[in-house]
Structure 1
């Protein structure tokens, strides 16, 4: 049964006024909980208008609570430097006291960080589409904005510290490339897309335009992951190299997507330009085992093999550490200082 429009308006205005008058998180949380209950009731009653305004009040309450929680985190506690640690007491309410989970606190605070005009636009768009905006959506928007800013800052810093990074002017018989793929970091113990890289990445168009200083006869090894395997094959074609085979680095452990196998390997695609020859092929295998290392750091055994089977000069593009027998190219050439 649908309630009268005037009754809905009165309730809506009363909730807005109560929210504006609220002075602590407990009051705001109470308004939010009532809005959640009203949202559920309206859905059961098949009253879409009531459901939409209840969802709006809920969102506004969660944003207000998020702003308050953020201020509580910044607020200084009592002076404790003159009190023994065992006697120190912090009487500020905990999330458990307020009845808010850590996930809700984080989500609401991120939603509150979205500029007001963007929040209002999201609410208005929700009414237009008939699907209410949520704190989860605003929090995701805030996360994307933060990630984008980090990447822009990283690229700006890169341009400032190294505005031009000239490709070596000599031609190489052997090139190893470990591109800064346009990806998110996947730690073994966190969800996918949880963390962003702290260094600039390159998209496919940028990688295609890259000058590869290859000799007429050149071996090329292109490191890639499962996700970027199709892109890596396209790059080889664009760079005018012919794909031959894939070297597989088997490493212990790895990220396992839901419903899929564990990703416990990486690939170095081997391609060639012209007709290069290997110095030798004894004990030269496409699959090898090597320990897992820091993110983006490749195994020493791979470079030792390449150095043994390929003539110099050799180049390690996007190098992150000095390696005997290889010239370096990249912005992180001293990230890992040891040289095997």
Structure 2
């Protein structure tokens, strides 16, 4: 029986059940200092999803479920770069580089609808870290430029192009934390990790939802801002 009082760290440990992974992709529900601004997931009117503080994210037992050689791709908002580096280290990775996501309009220009206190943000960072010796990217990675240019979707959701990039540059098994939807060949943990995922708040009309795949699902602790978890069958 599931312990409904378990922490996110406990829930993830039970879910992974001793599994080990060669590549981890994570898009944590970062908690901002200003929790009332429109960028904040907990914005009172928009109420998108609950968040975790940096200590809770660091406490996730990622390091216990890694292969000897492993890669990590960690999404972090521009304003929280120091916290992103802290999480990368806590999970057992050494920071190496990053990939910049440039959000563009249909005509290819910068999508200036972003937010920011100092500048209008049209980019997000995908931090890249390694664990172990001889953990360089695969051959394709050495030709891959460190930029993605795509249109944005609902709040915080990242581009699907990330998967093809990661799968060509890094080896499996693949683990995604705080995922939305599911992907064949990946183990996915998150409260929106469902084959029929659709946002339940106002968003852009294009490029949302997720193709269906077969998967198994278990209920997770309500404390995990991530409630259903899914394992996608390869």
TM-score range, shorter chain: 0.5 to 0.7
The alpha carbon displacement at 1:187 in A equals: 4.6
Relative to structure 1, the CA distance from residue 262 to residue 178 in structure 2 (aligned partners, 3 Å threshold; closer, same or farther) is same
**1:42 paired residue number:** none
**2:77 paired residue number:** 225
Q: Secondary structure at the match of 2:98?
A: strand
Structure of higher CA gyration radius? 1
Q: Which has the higher helix share?
A: 1
Relative to structure 1, the CA distance from residue 208 to residue 282 in structure 2 (aligned partners, 3 Å threshold; closer, same or farther) is closer
The alpha carbon displacement at 1:291 in A equals: 0.8
Q: Which has the higher strand share?
A: 2
The alpha carbon displacement at 1:296 in A equals: 2.0
Relative to structure 1, the CA distance from residue 159 to residue 201 in structure 2 (aligned partners, 3 Å threshold; closer, same or farther) is farther
Where in structure 1 are there 5+ consecutive unaligned residues?
Answer: 1-157
The alpha carbon displacement at 1:300 in A equals: 1.0
**1:210 paired residue number:** 60
Contact 1:185 1:195 in 2 (8 A): no
The alpha carbon displacement at 1:199 in A equals: 2.2
Deviation digits for residues 86-111 of structure 1 (CA, Å, limit 9, x no counterpart): xxxxxxxxxxxxxxxxxxxxxxxxxx
Relative to structure 1, the CA distance from residue 195 to residue 263 in structure 2 (aligned partners, 3 Å threshold; closer, same or farther) is farther
Q: Distance in 2 between matches of 1:177 and 1:308?
A: 17
**1:291 paired residue number:** 151
Q: Distance in 1 between matches of 2:101 and 2:49?
A: 24
The alpha carbon displacement at 1:323 in A equals: 1.5
Confirm or deny that 1:261 pairs with 2:119: yes
Matches within 5 A, 1:1-340: 164-165=11-12, 166-168=14-16, 169-183=18-32, 184=35, 187=38, 195=45, 197-212=47-62, 213-252=65-104, 253=111, 254-257=113-116, 260-275=118-133, 276-280=135-139, 281=141, 283-334=143-194, 335-336=197-198, 337-339=209-211
Aligned-residue CA RMSD (Å):
2.9
TM-score (norm 1): 0.47
Contact 1:221 1:268 in 2 (8 A): yes
Equivalenced residue count is 179
